[in-house]
Amino acid sequence: MRQTTYTVSGMTCEHCVASVTEEVSELEGVTDVAVDLPTGAVTVTSTAPVDEARVRAAVEEAGYHLSAA
């Protein structure tokens, strides 16, 4: 298992957390997504490395922005 933490900007509520979690969870190989709303940290657990561009696209599909990896 691999864990990678990203910073997502624009999240302000639990609905935001649910949206990001849902979109990122759909990526192939992702087994868990943990979001810390106050810091914007999104930790992705996966069976293999997940391309940052795919994570960025999923976060943007949810309506937010990947700030940094």
Q: What pLDDT does 67 receive?
A: 86
pLDDT tens column, 35-61: 999 999 999 999 999 999 999 999 999
Q: Are 47 and 29 in contact (CB under 8 A)?
A: yes
* Domain limits, the chain: 2-68
Q: What is the pLDDT of residue 19?
A: 97
Please tell me the pTM assigned to this model. 0.92
Angle at 19 between CA 37 and CA 4, to 5 degrees: 60
Count CA atoms within 13 Å of residue 7 on its CB side: 6
Across the range 20-34, mean pLDDT stands at: 98
- The fold adopted by the segment(s) 2-68 is Alpha-Beta Plaits (3.30.70)
